[in-house]
């Protein structure tokens, strides 16, 4: 059916590179393409993807998930889909792939054209002739045991002659910068490698349109870089149209900044309606305020624009002045005049931690006070700065090492080597043979401090946390302290009950009436009241994370909170909420130790940083001090985000090498976190965009309930 190719060749326009390879792709596609494609009308035919009036509705629900969205992409064009969580970004892509309505119990309306064909009534597999898809979950992105088989599958499905398949596998892997992975078993791949292979598989059949649904949301910075350069290589030929949903825009854009983002953008609002569309730079600058206030992460320049009202990013003197003022301003908690009442919190904290507590608390004074009461009765450490958890000479091993036979479904190590919780009341734990990841680690956690655990992927952060929590036996050494609490990166793993309310109550031993009080308080603090009776699995991603935190913090008898990647994949609002909870818990006398890749989050929240590198604790010191050690960061595979780097290197006060640098940096970053846009508070009681310290918590807290479904 050469018509199909004819249409495509015209589409591809002057892109010569496309023509040589294009024939095969079209042949493959044409092999089973319905004749109707030839009848596609000319105006539609020039678009790689065109959606008109697309809407999605759950049966029986009044509010649509997506309403009247239209978009159009020419071959080789790239488009970014922006919007807060719950705005239907993924639904939009699923309408294009046909997952909605063909695989989900949702109703779709509107029409979809792909590569010139009206595919509105065609199911997912038919649409696969012109679509390549990469979704966000690496654990579900790859279905076969070997990389080459995985990439061969779409080629076989599309009827590519067997003798061409090997070369096409090389081509696809080459595009995704994954050529060296060809012979590898998929079971041993890292997250970044998995997503690159998934990208290769999506590209293997030479689709006209590539859909990327947050392909990096579960990857570390190295993985993000790998996927970003792979996407760049793919679009370099100017043939494939790309539609990208992504919220870590700065990381995705890389060092060259927003210029590397797709040229076009559309914005969806909380109700799934289309707010704006056009060139990305223009869309970002015109909608920065709105997106920011809706809880979206934006590229740094756009974020600074939204908050300060000044364009130009860190290069702009006005922006710098704002940051300087924010860093110098007293924390809201210290300044009654600047801070609204709910933010003040009577809490007996040390001089140092009070100085750092720039987060307006989410807790009312009464809550905090009652908490203190319980605390003094229920085992929270009465003295600030007391050591609550100490590890001496601890060797940490991997729980399930690659020792598991590759071709075997189940292994001894999964079940045989149980992760038995210990009770560390000063008792020595059984020495168990492990493959050491961190050796001879010494560390202490003190009441009232927030400590970040940094290190590259595989450096043993998670294993160390599990060992400290008593969930993974230590190879050697001793851990002393009462039982810690811990939250995990994937909160679903922790859920035990069928209702949010019951989930928080799990393991609480107090009398029923008291438990109800504790539960209500946690529901309130973590903004879960509206879902209190829902099944935990039905919550949104952010709500699940908040629930796992709430359920853990309900245990007042655990003076230590351990958290594995607590900021991972959260939208802006939940990131801020998490930061605030950590500071609040520290102010109450808990010690918090969390692992993270997000150095901006670390710099905003942590008093102290522990870096793991080369199997040892490579550094342990105040945040600013450690982050200024360039050699150390390189050794640990860490990269400072531009904002943090600027704050750390600006020589004038209150940044840089000043004695107070860490506090200033933290104040500036926290002010940025809690700041609503300059417009939304202009004329309000909070102050103006020029004064950072005056931002209240209310502007951040309220809209969330509206967004969350």
Partner 1 sequence: MLGPGVVRDSALARRNPTVKLVVLFVASVALLFVLDPVTPALICAAGLIGVVVGGRVPVRTVLRAQLPFLVFAFGVFTVNVLSRPGTVLWQEGFIRITVEGLVVGAALALRTLAIGILAIGFVLTTDSLDLMTSLHQNARLGARPSYALMAGYRLLQQLPEDWAAIGAAQSVRAPLRRDGTVRRTPAAFGRAAFALLVLSIRRGERMAQSLESRGLGLAPRTVWHPIRVTPLDLVFGATVLATLAAVITAAALLGLLSGPAALF
Partner 2 sequence: MSIHTRPTSTPTTPGPRSRSLFAWQLKDIMLVVVLGAVFGFLYWALVQGWIALSVATGPFGDLTQHVLLGGWLLVAPIAVAIIRRPFAGVIAEIIASVIEVVFLGSAVGPLLFVAAAIQGAGSELPFALTRYRRFSWPVYALSGLLGAGLVFFYSAFRSGWYGTDLFLVRLAIQLVSGVVLGGLLAKVIVDALARTGVVDNFAIGRARVGA
Chain positions 483 to 502 lying near partner 2, rule: CB under 8 A, are: 498
- Distance separating alpha carbons of residues 93 and 98, to the nearest angstrom: 9
Q: Which does 128 bind (CB under 5 to 8 A by kind): partner 2, partner 1, none?
A: partner 1
**Among residues 12, 18, 25, 71, which is the contact residue for partner 2, using CB under 8 A?**
71
Q: Which residues in 287-326 contact partner 1 (CB under 8 A)?
A: none
Q: Which does 155 bind (CB under 5 to 8 A by kind): partner 1, partner 2, none?
A: partner 1
**Min separation Cβ 83 and partner 1, Å:** 21
- Distance separating alpha carbons of residues 3 and 326, to the nearest angstrom: 62
The smaller minimum CB distance to partner 2, of residues 277 and 463, is found at 277
Q: Which does 529 bind (CB under 5 to 8 A by kind): partner 2, partner 1, none?
A: none
- Contact map string, positions 394 to 433, toward partner 2, x by CB under 8 A: ---------------xx----x------------------
The smaller minimum CB distance to partner 2, of residues 92 and 579, is found at 92
Quick one: which of 357, 348, 344, 356 has its CA closest to 384?
348
**Min separation Cβ 102 and partner 2, Å:** 6
| Cα torsion angle, 79, 84, 85, 89, sign | negative
The helix, strand and coil proportions of the chain, stated in percent and rounded to the nearest 5, come to 45, 15, 40
Q: What is the DSSP string of 218-286?
A: T--HHHHHHHHHHHHHHHTTS-SEEEEE-S-HHHHH-TTGGGGS-SEEEEE-TTSBEEEEEEHHHHHHH
Q: Which does 486 bind (CB under 5 to 8 A by kind): partner 2, partner 1, none?
A: partner 1
Q: Which does 107 bind (CB under 5 to 8 A by kind): partner 2, partner 1, none?
A: partner 2
Pair 602, 460: CB distance under 8 Å: no
**Min separation Cβ 202 and partner 2, Å:** 17
**Among residues 30, 227, 243, 266, which is the contact residue for partner 2, using CB under 8 A?**
266
Q: Which does 108 bind (CB under 5 to 8 A by kind): partner 1, partner 2, none?
A: partner 2
DSSP state of 432: -
**Min separation Cβ 71 and partner 2, Å:** 6
The residue range among 16-24, 304-312, 354-362, 397-405 that interacts with partner 1, by the rule CB under 8 A, is 397-405
Q: Can you give the three-state secondary structure of 67-135, one letter per residue?
A: EEEEEEECCCCEEEEECCCCCCHHHHHHHHHCHHHHCCCCEEEEEEEECCEECCCCCHHHHCCCEEEEC
Should residue 552 be labelled a site residue for partner 1 when binding is judged by CB under 8 A? yes
Longest CA span, the chain: 80
- Contact map string, positions 98 to 127, toward partner 2, x by CB under 8 A: ---xxxxx-xxxxx--------xx------
Within 10 A of 595 (CB to CB), how many other CB atoms are there? 25
Report the length, in residues, of the chain: 709
Q: Which does 274 bind (CB under 5 to 8 A by kind): partner 2, partner 1, none?
A: partner 2
| Cα torsion angle, 467, 470, 476, 478, sign | positive
Reading the block at residue 566, the tokens are 């607590």
Q: Give the position of tokens 């989410």.
A: 362
**Min separation Cβ 86 and partner 2, Å:** 15
Reading the block at residue 293, the tokens are 């206030």
- Contact map string, positions 533 to 552, toward partner 2, x by CB under 8 A: --xxxx--------------
**Among residues 22, 55, 76, 397, which is the contact residue for partner 2, using CB under 8 A?**
55
Q: Which residues in 195-234 contact partner 1 (CB under 8 A)?
A: 198, 201-202, 204-205
SS3 655: coil
The residue range among 122-130, 290-298, 602-610, 692-700 that interacts with partner 1, by the rule CB under 8 A, is 122-130
Quick one: which of 198, 133, 155 has its CA closest to 25?
155
Buried residues in 129-138 as b, exposed as e (16+ CB within 10 A): bbbbbbbbeb
**Among residues 496, 630, 682, 706, which is the contact residue for partner 1, using CB under 8 A?**
496
SS3 559: coil
Q: Which does 413 bind (CB under 5 to 8 A by kind): partner 1, partner 2, none?
A: partner 1
**Among residues 129, 590, 670, 704, which is the contact residue for partner 1, using CB under 8 A?**
129
**Min separation Cβ 146 and partner 2, Å:** 16
- Distance separating alpha carbons of residues 283 and 264, to the nearest angstrom: 8
**Min separation Cβ 90 and partner 1, Å:** 11
Q: Which residues in 416-445 contact partner 1 (CB under 8 A)?
A: 418-425, 427
The alpha-carbon radius of gyration of the chain (Å, integer) is 26
Quick one: which of 555, 548, 424 has its CA closest to 478?
424
Buried residues in 421-435 as b, exposed as e (16+ CB within 10 A): ebebeeeebeeeebe
The smaller minimum CB distance to partner 1, of residues 96 and 636, is found at 96
DSSP state of 477: E
Pair 554, 501: CB distance under 8 Å: no
Q: Can you give the three-state secondary structure of 347-398, one letter per residue?
A: CCCCHHHHHHCCCCCCCCHHHHHHHHHHHHHHCCCCCCCCEEEEEEEEEEEC
Q: Which does 323 bind (CB under 5 to 8 A by kind): partner 1, partner 2, none?
A: none
Q: Which does 111 bind (CB under 5 to 8 A by kind): partner 2, partner 1, none?
A: partner 2
**Among residues 20, 42, 366, 415, which is the contact residue for partner 1, using CB under 8 A?**
415
Q: Which does 421 bind (CB under 5 to 8 A by kind): partner 1, partner 2, none?
A: partner 1
The smaller minimum CB distance to partner 1, of residues 452 and 551, is found at 551
The residue range among 231-239, 369-377, 410-418, 626-634 that interacts with partner 1, by the rule CB under 8 A, is 410-418
Within 10 A of 376 (CB to CB), how many other CB atoms are there? 12
What Å distances lie between residue 163 and 2, 166, 176, CA to CA?
A: 22, 7, 22
The residue range among 54-62, 180-188, 225-233, 394-402 that interacts with partner 2, by the rule CB under 8 A, is 54-62
Q: Which residues in 168-197 contact partner 1 (CB under 8 A)?
A: 186-187
Quick one: which of 90, 187, 179 has its CA closest to 145?
187
Q: Which does 132 bind (CB under 5 to 8 A by kind): partner 2, partner 1, none?
A: partner 1
Kind of pairing between the strands at 107-114 and 49-57? antiparallel
Size of the site for partner 1 (CB under 8 A): 85
Pair 465, 595: CB distance under 8 Å: yes
Should residue 68 be labelled a site residue for partner 2 when binding is judged by CB under 8 A? yes
Should residue 274 be labelled a site residue for partner 2 when binding is judged by CB under 8 A? yes
Q: Which does 411 bind (CB under 5 to 8 A by kind): partner 1, partner 2, none?
A: partner 1
The residue range among 82-90, 396-404, 438-446, 658-666 that interacts with partner 1, by the rule CB under 8 A, is 396-404
Q: Which residues in 514-533 contact partner 1 (CB under 8 A)?
A: none
Residues that bind partner 2 (CB under 8 A): 52-53, 55, 59-60, 68, 70-72, 101-105, 107-111, 120-121, 264, 266, 274, 277-278, 409-410, 415, 498, 535-538
């Amino acid at each position: 059916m050469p018509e199909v190719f004819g249409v495509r060749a015209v589409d591809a326009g002057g892109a010569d590179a496309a023509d040589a390879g294009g024939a095969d792709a079209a042949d493959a596609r044409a092999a089973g393409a319905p004749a109707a494609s030839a009848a596609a009308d000319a105006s539609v035919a020039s678009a790689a993807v065109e959606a008109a009036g697309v809407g999605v509705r759950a049966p029986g629900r009044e509010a649509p998930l997506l309403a009247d969205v239209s978009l159009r992409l020419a071959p080789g064009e790239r488009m970014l889909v922006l919007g807060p969580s719950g705005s239907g970004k993924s639904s939009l892509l699923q309408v294009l792939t046909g997952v909605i309505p063909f695989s989900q119990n949702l109703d779709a309306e509107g029409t979809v054209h792909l590569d010139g064909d009206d595919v509105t009534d065609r199911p997912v597999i038919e649409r696969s002739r012109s679509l390549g898809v990469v979704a966000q979950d690496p654990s579900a992105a790859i279905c076969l045991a070997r990389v080459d088989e995985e990439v061969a599958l779409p080629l076989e499905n599309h009827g590519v002659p067997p003798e061409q398949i090997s070369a096409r596998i090389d081509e696809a892997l080459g595009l995704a910068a994954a050529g060296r992975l060809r012979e590898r078993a998929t079971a041993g791949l890292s997250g970044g490698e998995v997503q690159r292979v998934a990208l290769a598989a999506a590209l293997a059949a030479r689709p006209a349109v590539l859909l990327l649904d947050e392909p990096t949301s579960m990857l570390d910075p190295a993985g993000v870089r790998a996927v970003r350069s792979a996407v760049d290589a793919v679009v370099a030929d100017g043939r494939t149209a790309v539609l990208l949903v992504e919220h870590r825009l700065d990381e995705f854009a890389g060092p060259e900044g927003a210029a590397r983002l797709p040229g076009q953008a559309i914005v969806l609002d909380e109700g799934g309606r289309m707010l704006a569309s056009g060139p990305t730079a223009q869309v970002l600058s015109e909608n920065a305020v709105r997106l920011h206030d809706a809880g979206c992460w934006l590229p740094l320049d756009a974020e600074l624009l939204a908050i300060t009202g000044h364009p130009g990013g860190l290069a702009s003197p006005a922006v710098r002045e704002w940051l300087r003022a924010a860093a110098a301003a007293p924390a809201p908690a210290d300044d009654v005049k600047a801070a609204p009442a709910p933010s003040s919190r009577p809490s007996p904290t040390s001089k140092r931690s009070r100085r750092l507590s720039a987060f307006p608390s989410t807790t009312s004074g009464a809550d905090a006070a009652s908490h203190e009461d319980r605390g003094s009765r229920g085992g929270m450490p009465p003295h600030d700065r007391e050591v609550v958890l100490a590890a001496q000479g601890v060797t940490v091993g991997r729980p399930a090492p690659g020792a598991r036979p590759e071709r075997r479904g189940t292994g001894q190590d999964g079940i045989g080597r149980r992760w038995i919780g210990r009770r560390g009341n000063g008792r020595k734990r059984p020495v168990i043979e492990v493959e050491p990841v961190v050796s001879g680690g010494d560390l202490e956690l003190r009441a009232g401090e927030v400590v970040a655990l940094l290190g590259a992927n595989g450096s043993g952060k998670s294993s160390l946390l599990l060992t400290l929590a008593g969930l993974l036996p230590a190879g050697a050494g001793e851990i002393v302290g009462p039982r810690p609490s811990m939250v995990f990166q994937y909160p679903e793993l922790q859920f035990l009950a069928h209702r949010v309310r019951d989930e928080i109550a799990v393991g609480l031993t107090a009398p029923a009436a008291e438990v109800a009080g504790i539960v209500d308080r946690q529901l309130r603090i973590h903004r879960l009241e509206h879902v209190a009776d829902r099944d935990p699995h039905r919550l949104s991603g952010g709500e699940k994370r908040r629930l796992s935190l709430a359920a853990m913090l309900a245990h007042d008898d655990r003076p230590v909170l351990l958290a594995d990647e607590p900021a991972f994949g959260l939208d802006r609002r939940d990131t801020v909420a998490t930061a605030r909870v950590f500071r609040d818990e520290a102010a109450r006398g808990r010690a918090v130790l969390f692992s993270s890749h997000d150095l901006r989050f670390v710099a905003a929240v942590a008093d102290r940083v522990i870096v793991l590198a080369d199997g040892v604790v490579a550094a342990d010191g105040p945040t600013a001090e450690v982050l200024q050690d360039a050699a150390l960061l390189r050794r640990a595979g860490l990269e400072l985000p531009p904002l943090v780097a600027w704050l750390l290197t600006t020589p004038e006060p209150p940044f840089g090498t000043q004695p107070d640098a860490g506090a200033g940096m933290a104040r500036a970053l926290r002010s940025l976190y809690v700041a609503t846009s300059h417009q939304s508070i202009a004329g309000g009681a909070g102050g103006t965009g020029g004064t950072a310290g005056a931002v209240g918590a209310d502007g951040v807290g309220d809209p969330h309930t509206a967004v969350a479904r």
